[in-house]
A and B are shown apart, each in its own frame.
Chain A
């Protein structure tokens, strides 16, 4: 299989970047996108060129580490998939494929396809938890949680923190990411007590990091590899106004 790869190359955070073109032959349609970059990098290294810097760890869609924009699709042209779950069979033989990093003010580019998403950790640090210390927990079955509530909480908690929702949003809003955590915790009985302060602090941090406002276009929900629902943003707003 052949592909023409156009990759975003940027030396450092403040350097000017540009697309660089690579013609690749001898690809296998079952290769994943990161595996294709491994293949390309091996060639670049041997030619004495700087390999493409990109991050990818679990390669099974759960760690949230990888994630590029592929032909304008955030994460993947496939539905509910991460970049590492995208295989070359998604492209036509000979197709031109553009790879670029997620773009958002709050996600500065470090090099090529590597970005800094630590802003998301700082949002969680403001209240994305239940404040229980080790040793304080009561017997597990003393907190009853209905099957459906547990399932909904899981749906929200399934977020992998990849930032695709931010990257696709025209305002680079982190509302889906933040909303998912708020919603996960606030619907559980053990998470209700801190609901007020949680939502206030997390929303404030979201703004402080430079994420934009949510205008409810629903683009985030469409690209989320875990299919996190837009309803979580509604929950966040409701919790916010309640507080």
Chain B
């Protein structure tokens, strides 16, 4: 049933071959086709701009006031590309290998290879748009190193690489609103997907300012709505990041792959109190020069500078000598949690580890470190009031990136025809753990280089503008209206935010960095309870126009359903791989122990009815890379 549609032939030629044989539409006929793009982050903006440049009509939706606010803006460290500007042995092949290995051999080879291949042109595109990447004094582009690799292939614009790339994509998008064929709908939320005969034919939208609910019809729908790490409530994500668009599509039949694979970022700021609404990320690039340590003695209350060298445990350097502080994220996060749980945590809540720049400042001098990370140190000071030039940073793992997402085939199309899913919203490229600086890359190549070809290939076999039945349309609008009215009518005593916080605690403690069957079962019943009480105790203030509480409530309702699927997925996968660490399945040294015999597949879920899930499997074939135990020692 699941056909990933991977083209035949050697991996190096698959994408070239695909493009050479993909169906085209005559430029004059393209304007007859309409494509909806939901989301204006890197994936959405770049896809919308590229489609408009080709001549398609594009309707773009974002719940933000401006497309430039999308959360791609917050990515700090960089974007990978196999340019081999450093002459350090990099190549498309090596990047492909690093990414598959980094993902603990749970991603699709052909997709990963294509991402590495397209990385070359992406840097060219971004530079042409005016993205001010860091440069050497000679005028050439500069690179740095990121976790999980031994080459320097990361391009960066200080600690604001996501912002700068998004500026490029946003400017391309906004340019097309003036000179091309883009209609931009800001402050509009996608409430539902319109599916006719198993094909995506439009979306139901709500104008968040006026409350008006409408249907937009189209010949294809693109969801580029980002990740759902915010389901853990405390996360590195923005407050409004949500799973609603992909969850609503899932409820209409789009399969959801690997929902429980959420990456915990090792260098976030720790939680400082109950009032806290988010955890701010400190870029992984800091691990190039910062050394991570904890006191060897448990519950050591001495300030860091009073702890002598021999009483410090640089645990990453000790456990993973060849990668040291640049061990991949899943491994670094888990190692930090082990130290914290083992009583070595530092900071006021004893929930952090140190990231120390003393040696780097001594070796390279403060001005060099300031140049590299100045804005990150400033940000750290703004948030914590502490000076990281003088004392080590406090860092802690936090929910960050969703490797899981809607299932897509090689064309980035869901099992629902005409529904394309891009960027973090899909599952395809990162396996069970994403490497740093591959997220911006995936979002960009999906939008600029892949989707425009695959969408055109799909549309070429479609008749443009098949309209949806009027009665069906009215029913869809009524369904959404009734759903929101139900939420408004509950009139209990708990806010959506309170439900979200409770859900977050359950997921963090029971389905987070470390998972275990008995504990997951507890999580399941607690979430079921919470979901039940949501429909009796929720309190949403009245009002159909600007009502942020109503927006939140609808998103939390979706989160509660998705949370059950996340737990189901974590329960079903009786192995450890990447970010998914089951306590029952570990090596003697405490590393993740995969079970390739039984679990070398992607778990793909269908919802039969509310909270009833059916598992499908996409077997993963590794024809080019030898599947091995993943070691960074």
Report the minimum CB–CB distance from B139 to chain A (whole Å). Answer: 4
Q: Identify which of A12, A48, A51, A184 contacts B548 (C-beta below 8 A).
A: A51
Count of interface residues, chain A, beta-carbon cutoff 8 Å: 79
Contact across chains for B277 and A136 when beta carbons are under 8 A apart: no
Report the minimum CB–CB distance from B243 to chain A (whole Å). Answer: 16
Q: Does A126 contact B (CB under 8 A)?
A: yes
Contact across chains for A146 and B275 when beta carbons are under 8 A apart: no
Contact across chains for A154 and B157 when beta carbons are under 8 A apart: yes
Contact across chains for A128 and B276 when beta carbons are under 8 A apart: no
Which residue of the partner chain A has the closest CB to B137? A147
Which residue of the partner chain B has the closest CB to A80? B378
Contacts of A53 in B (CB 8 A): 546, 548
Which residue of the partner chain B has the closest CB to A56? B239
A53 to B548, CA, bound (A): 7
Which residue of the partner chain A has the closest CB to B121? A137
Contacting residues of chain A (44-74) with chain B, CB-CB under 8 angstroms? 45-46, 48-51, 53, 55-65
Which residue of the partner chain A has the closest CB to B240? A57
Contact across chains for B141 and A140 when beta carbons are under 8 A apart: yes
Which residue of the partner chain A has the closest CB to B180? A133
Q: Identify which of B132, B172, B177 contacts A157 (C-beta below 8 A).
A: B132
Contact across chains for A129 and B164 when beta carbons are under 8 A apart: no
Report the minimum CB–CB distance from A220 to chain B (whole Å). Answer: 19
Q: Does A207 contact B (CB under 8 A)?
A: no
A42 to B498, CA, bound (A): 9
Q: Identify which of A41, A51, A128, A140 contacts B123 (C-beta below 8 A).
A: A140
Which residue of the partner chain B has the closest CB to A32? B277
Report the minimum CB–CB distance from A65 to chain B (whole Å). Answer: 5
Contact across chains for A110 and B172 when beta carbons are under 8 A apart: no
Contact across chains for B132 and A184 when beta carbons are under 8 A apart: yes
The interface bits of chain B over 105-138 (1 if a CB of A lies within 8 angstroms of the residue's CB, else 0) are 0000000000000000101111111101111111
Contact across chains for A129 and B158 when beta carbons are under 8 A apart: no
Contact across chains for A61 and B68 when beta carbons are under 8 A apart: no
Contacting residues of chain A (127-153) with chain B, CB-CB under 8 angstroms? 128-141, 143-147, 149-151, 153
Contact across chains for A30 and B239 when beta carbons are under 8 A apart: no
Contact across chains for B278 and A144 when beta carbons are under 8 A apart: no
Q: Identify which of A39, A125, A132, A146 contacts B129 (C-beta below 8 A).
A: A132
Contact across chains for B541 and A51 when beta carbons are under 8 A apart: yes
Contact across chains for A188 and B130 when beta carbons are under 8 A apart: yes
Q: A57-B71, A141-B85 are in contact. Are A136 and B128 (CB under 8 A)?
A: yes
A56 to B68, CA, bound (A): 14
Which residue of the partner chain A has the closest CB to B131? A157
Q: Does A25 contact B (CB under 8 A)?
A: no
A37 to B158, CA, bound (A): 32
Which residue of the partner chain B has the closest CB to A159? B167
Report the minimum CB–CB distance from B476 to chain A (whole Å). Answer: 28
Contact across chains for A110 and B546 when beta carbons are under 8 A apart: yes
Contact across chains for A85 and B276 when beta carbons are under 8 A apart: no
Contact across chains for B275 and A59 when beta carbons are under 8 A apart: no
Report the minimum CB–CB distance from A111 to chain B (whole Å). Answer: 5
Contact across chains for B275 and A39 when beta carbons are under 8 A apart: yes
A151 to B140, CA, bound (A): 13
Contacting residues of chain B (171-185) with chain A, CB-CB under 8 angstroms? 171-172, 174-175, 177-178
Contact across chains for B127 and A129 when beta carbons are under 8 A apart: no
Report the minimum CB–CB distance from B160 to chain A (whole Å). Answer: 6
Q: A35-B277, A160-B163 are in contact. Are A89 and B53 (CB under 8 A)?
A: no
Q: A45-B539, A140-B124 are in contact. Are A117 and B273 (CB under 8 A)?
A: no
Contact across chains for B71 and A35 when beta carbons are under 8 A apart: no
Contact across chains for A154 and B158 when beta carbons are under 8 A apart: yes
Q: A118-B66, A137-B128 are in contact. Are A128 and B71 (CB under 8 A)?
A: no
Contact across chains for B383 and A190 when beta carbons are under 8 A apart: no
A142 to B402, CA, bound (A): 36
Q: Does A223 contact B (CB under 8 A)?
A: no
Contact across chains for A45 and B160 when beta carbons are under 8 A apart: no
Contacts of A147 in B (CB 8 A): 135-137, 139
Report the minimum CB–CB distance from B180 to chain A (whole Å). Answer: 10
Q: Does B26 contact A (CB under 8 A)?
A: no
Contacting residues of chain B (445-469) with chain A, CB-CB under 8 angstroms? 448-449, 452
Q: Does A212 contact B (CB under 8 A)?
A: no
Contact across chains for B65 and A117 when beta carbons are under 8 A apart: yes
Residue of B124, B157, B545 with highest tally of chain A CB at under 10 A: B124
Contact across chains for B127 and A58 when beta carbons are under 8 A apart: no
Contacts of A116 in B (CB 8 A): 65
Measured CB to CB, the residues of B under 8 A from A are: 46, 49-50, 53, 64-69, 71, 73-74, 83, 85, 121, 123-130, 132-141, 157-158, 160, 163-164, 167, 170-172, 174-175, 177-178, 186, 209, 238-240, 272-273, 275-278, 280-281, 378-379, 382-383, 385, 448-449, 452, 493, 495, 497-498, 539, 541, 543, 545-546, 548-549
The 5 closest A-B pairs by CB, nearest first: A144-B139, A129-B171, A137-B128, A137-B124, A154-B132
